[in-house]
Amino acid sequence: MKALFKLMLITVNVVAFTILPVKAQEDYTLPSYSSRDGFVPVVGRGGMVSVRETIAAKVGAEILEQGGNAIDAGAAIGFALAVTYPGAGNIGGGGFMVIHKASEDKTVAIDYREMSAGAATHDIYINDEGEIDQELARRSRLSTGVPGTVAGMALAVEKYGTMTLAQVIAPAYKLAHEGFEMYTHLELSLARSQERLGADPAAKKAFYKADGSTYKTGENFKQEDLAKSLKLIMDDGPSAFYTGSIAEKVAADMAANGGLITMEDMAAYKVYEREPVMGSYKGYTIATMPPPSSGGVHMIQMMNMLENDDLKSKGHNSAATLHLYIESMRQAYADRSLYAGDPAFFDVPVEKLIDKEYAAEIRSRIPMDRARLSSEVAPTKGLNAESMETTHYSVMDAEGNAVSNTYTLNFGFGNGKMAAGTGFLLNNELDDFDHLPYEPDANGNISGKANAQEGHKRPRSSMTPTIIFKDGRPFLATGSPGGGTIINTVFQTVMNVVEFEMNVAAASSKPRINHQWMPNMTTIESGVSQDTLNILTEMGHIYNAGRRTLGSTNSIVYRDGYFYGAHDPRSMNAATIGIN
Ligand code: GLY
């Protein structure tokens, strides 16, 4: 008997040994699996999710496996991240979702950006000395806009999903109500933010134990108040949030703590379904986020500027290519400072900014042998600093639907405040307004006006959730956090795929750069060769290299019947899951 068992084991091993290389051979020859790039994407046939946090990624994958479409999965991930990744996942913030619904051959951009209170004005953060009070702008209730996430997710599911809102919230509710195992990254984030979050009684109750200590990795972490809020939304829909008891709690908290948001403001919140801003690049079609995000417009502007350059022959991240990137970024961000804002308040010249003739003209101003000074490109004031804490996820399903979603509280954990009993953090998104708007200068520049705070206005964003199409089907879904750097991160990721033909894992991993016109400084991630840096120096570029990372993408490519996905090696605890 023993001998027979031994023989069986040997047989199984031999069979496995002979079968495995054949399977590997098949996988290896998948059409777009290009191992020359040195990085390997996740592969699936039935759909894919790529998310910054693993538990929420599993929620999205389960929804797809249960037969939900990409939009159902996208909304479920949005609610799940509000529980499992409270630094940026949220129901107290807002964002943007680009959706492609295959059966309708329709692509839409959902704007669920936060909105300022009706009583807000451009100078609410300006102190007696005429300076910005950063405490007010970033860490007070005055920095909070009416949250848009609940309205945005609800619209997406109701119009483009197949499941009910309650069904897509259910996994998040379970995670909040029953708890999940504290994971190391969240434990460390909460420990790092303990002073700030611990100073707010409701946030302290939500995120720390009764004795004030942090939950340790592996311990069960429940969020009862958040579970109650999610249950109210499951039962009563978005009205629970905007006109019901959640709105009452938020308005009472604002009134008691110097905030401006009233019940009327909560009720006045509108989610917009917008036409995506559309562009093209060498046969690919780009659908991305229009204003009030500046992301889509300026990414397309940069791609237009470079469409007629043979960057591939110049080389990826060569000095010549990086020079063109920097000069394109310099121009795009100069224009952005003048023209990007809420289209309901300011006439953003989208068509002009994404016009190919305009792009050719500004491209022709780039000298190939030297860096320009930023003041040569547009002499105007600089931009205020923006936070880096946002999160992006991408989903595709087998029917050809796609979701590219970026949302945020602005700073990690928003302003660190929470209305008692709600269990969710408040955003500090209104810091994205320009706080020192000024009248047109001698050159007619009107920087700041476009993005000055007014009642019920949305602050300019940089979020760039994007879907690139090839032959009419979503080919690439991508996006990133990173405040003002988002546009450049998404731009380079897209260029890596469509111009340099990298697989999506390589495209996500290569070193990136960032220039935002003012200050005249390029950030260059480590990994760009010293030779290249030396040439950039000779050309007059000013940069810091190897000091920080830029962005954190979650991307999916569909090609020839396979989904290929990758989360960024720059992010901890992210997951990309392929459905078989
Ligand atoms: N708060 C970051 C952004 O909207 O771009």
pLDDT in tens, 407-437: 999 999 999 999 999 999 999 999 999 887 6
What pLDDT score does 226 carry? 98
| Distance set, CA 509 to CA 26, 50, 258, 484, 571 (Å) | 25, 15, 44, 20, 11
| Binding site membership of 111 for ligand 1 (Cβ less than 6 Å) | no
Share of the chain above pLDDT 70, in %: 90
CB atoms within 10 A of CB 174: 16
What pLDDT score does 131 carry? 85
| pLDDT digit string, tens, across residues 391-408 | 999 999 999 999 999 999
Q: Where are the extended beta strands (E) located within 373-425?
A: 390-397, 402-408
Tokens of 385: 């600093």
- If you ran DSSP here, which 8-state letter would residue 230 be given? H
Please name the amino acid found at residue 221. F
What's the rounded Cα separation, in Å, for the pair 124 and 134? 11
β-bridge partners, 523: 514, 544
Atom of ligand 1 nearest to the CA of 459: 4
| Binding site membership of 390 for ligand 1 (Cβ less than 6 Å) | yes
What pLDDT score does 1 carry? 38
Q: Are 419 and 426 in contact (CB under 8 A)?
A: yes
Average pLDDT score, the chain: 91
| Binding site membership of 143 for ligand 1 (Cβ less than 6 Å) | no
| Binding site membership of 428 for ligand 1 (Cβ less than 6 Å) | no
Q: Are 304 and 297 in contact (CB under 8 A)?
A: no
What's the rounded Cα separation, in Å, for the pair 231 and 200? 24
Query: Which residue puts its alpha carbon closest to atom 4 of ligand 1?
Result: 461
| Binding site membership of 391 for ligand 1 (Cβ less than 6 Å) | no
Tokens of 73: 């999965």
- If you ran DSSP here, which 8-state letter would residue 293 be given? B
What's the rounded Cα separation, in Å, for the pair 321 and 563? 29
- pLDDT for residue 439 is more than 80: no
> What is the best residue among 406, 462, 480 to mutate for testing ligand 1's pocket, by most ligand atoms within 8 Å of CB?
462
What's the rounded Cα separation, in Å, for the pair 422 and 246? 7
What's the rounded Cα separation, in Å, for the pair 407 and 190? 20
> What is the best residue among 97, 389, 390, 427 to mutate for testing ligand 1's pocket, by most ligand atoms within 8 Å of CB?
390
Q: Are 470 and 284 in contact (CB under 8 A)?
A: yes
Q: Which of 390, 408, 464, 532 is catalytic?
A: 390
Give residue 13's pLDDT band: very low, low, confident or very high (50, 70, 90).
very low
- pLDDT for residue 367 is more than 80: yes
- pLDDT for residue 229 is more than 70: yes
CB atoms within 10 A of CB 343: 17
Locate tokens 């009563």: which residue? 236
Q: Of the candidates 514, 512, 533, 531, which has an alpha carbon nearest to the alpha carbon of residue 523?
A: 514
390 is known as an active-site residue? yes
- pLDDT for residue 188 is more than 60: yes
What's the rounded Cα separation, in Å, for the pair 253 and 419? 5
Give residue 449's pLDDT band: very low, low, confident or very high (50, 70, 90).
confident
> What is the best residue among 299, 342, 406, 432 to mutate for testing ligand 1's pocket, by most ligand atoms within 8 Å of CB?
432
Q: Are 481 and 408 in contact (CB under 8 A)?
A: yes
Query: Which residue puts its alpha carbon closest to atom 3 of ligand 1?
Result: 461
What's the rounded Cα separation, in Å, for the pair 248 and 246? 5
How many angstroms separate the alpha carbon of residue 57 from the centre of ligand 1?
22
Give residue 212's pLDDT band: very low, low, confident or very high (50, 70, 90).
very high
What's the rounded Cα separation, in Å, for the pair 75 and 77? 5
Tokens of 127: 């102190």
- pLDDT for residue 28 is more than 70: no
What's the rounded Cα separation, in Å, for the pair 242 and 270? 10
Q: Where are the extended beta strands (E) located within 172-242?
A: 180-181, 220-221
Query: Which residue puts its alpha carbon closest to atom 2 of ligand 1?
Result: 483
Tokens of 276: 């995506």
Locate tokens 């000069």: which residue? 327
Indicate the burial class of 212 (C-beta count within 10 angstroms; 0-12, 13-18, 19 or more).
exposed
Share of the chain above pLDDT 90, in %: 84
Which of these ranges, 48-52, 186-190, 349-353, has the smallest mean pLDDT?
Answer: 349-353
Query: Which residue puts its alpha carbon closest to atom 1 of ligand 1?
Result: 410
- pLDDT for residue 285 is more than 50: yes
What pLDDT score does 347 carry? 87
- pLDDT for residue 369 is more than 80: yes
| Sign of the alpha-carbon torsion through 350, 354, 357, 359 | positive
How many residues does the structure list for the chain? 580
| Binding site membership of 518 for ligand 1 (Cβ less than 6 Å) | no
What's the rounded Cα separation, in Å, for the pair 309 and 500? 12
| pLDDT digit string, tens, across residues 86-143 | 999 999 999 999 999 999 999 999 999 999 999 999 999 999 988 889 999 999 999 9
- pLDDT for residue 25 is more than 60: no
Atom of ligand 1 nearest to the CA of 113: 4
> What is the best residue among 289, 298, 486, 489 to mutate for testing ligand 1's pocket, by most ligand atoms within 8 Å of CB?
486
- If you ran DSSP here, which 8-state letter would residue 276 be given? P
97 SS3 class: strand
| Binding site membership of 408 for ligand 1 (Cβ less than 6 Å) | yes
CA angle in degrees (0–180, nearest 5) for 456-457-460: 155
| Binding site membership of 432 for ligand 1 (Cβ less than 6 Å) | yes
What pLDDT score does 388 carry? 58
| Binding site membership of 463 for ligand 1 (Cβ less than 6 Å) | yes
| Binding site membership of 386 for ligand 1 (Cβ less than 6 Å) | yes
Rounded to 10 deg, the angle between the 149-160 and 165-178 helix axes is 130
How many angstroms separate the alpha carbon of residue 502 from the centre of ligand 1?
28
